[in-house]
Each structure stands twice: as structure tokens, then as C-alpha cells.
Amino acid sequence: MKFYPTSNMFDDMFENFFGPTYSGSGLMRTDIHEKDGKYIMDIDLPGYQKEDNKISLYNGSLTIQAEHHESNEEKDAKGNLLRQERYTGACSRSFYVGDHLKQEDIHASFKDGILTLSMPTEKKKEEETKKFIDIL
């Protein structure tokens, strides 16, 4: 199995000239290593919480999405608004992991701003059972 990250051509171009961009891929730095027959992915998501993340698997493509909304209001004693700031951030990244993986093969955890995913390196060999054909 190989991981093929999908990326935006413009992100790559600007990253080469100006350093990391923050449109998505710059925030989700990913380390992938193999251990005990599994691929382990560590994805940096600073500022995000566990509930901000969504992971999906469709047609062999593993997609990680993170979205965070924050609003801060400061009011005086009379309830008048003195300051209000809002922040919204979102990023996503996809990897082609192969058609053989199923949702239950992928395990995820989130701790200290790092999303960790683990999945088997090889396709599980399913037991072959003798199947009979009905005669009509």
C-alpha cells in the first residue's frame, strides 16, 4: 500500500516560494511510519479539538477534515459590547490508501493536537469457503 497525498498545485507553488501556506495542507503536517504490520499516521492539528475532526474513507481515499469556530465577546457591566472577535479555521487532506481497506480497519486517536491513525499494511486474507450454486 502506498500513500498518495492529494494536494493543491497552487499550495505547492506558493509553499516553494514563500514557505508553508495555511490554506489547508500547511497545517496538516503528516508523518507516516510502519510498525508491527501497521501504518501509523501522525497528523499535526494545533488548535483543534477531538470533536473538530472528521475522517472518512470512500473509494480508497482517506480524507481528514478539521474545522474550528471560536467567538469571544467582551461586554461592560451594562451589557454593552466592547469587543467581539471571531475565528473560523478549516483544513482537509486526502490520501489514497487502496480499495482493500474498510472503515473498521482504521483506528484513530487524538491527543495534544495530534491525530493518530493506524491501519494494516497488507490486505487481510479472507478465508475462502466453499460456496454452492442453487439449482433452479
The pLDDT value recorded for residue 127 is 59
pTM above 0.75, yes or no: no
Q: What is the mean pLDDT of residues 118-127?
A: 75
The pLDDT value recorded for residue 55 is 93
Nearest-angstrom CA–CA distance, 97 and 94: 9
Kindly report the CA angle at 105 between 65 and 63, in degrees rounded to 5? 15
Residue 89 has pLDDT above 90, yes or no: no
pLDDT band at 77 (very low <50, low <70, confident <90, very high): confident
Query: pLDDT (tens digit, 9 = 90+) per residue, 10-33?
Result: 444 444 443 333 444 457 899 999
Nearest-angstrom CA–CA distance, 40 and 17: 30
Residue 75 has pLDDT above 70, yes or no: yes
Nearest-angstrom CA–CA distance, 24 and 78: 41
Q: What is the mean pLDDT of residues 105-118?
A: 92
Nearest-angstrom CA–CA distance, 17 and 33: 28
Instruction: State the CATH class of domain 1-14+30-74+93-122.
Output: mainly beta
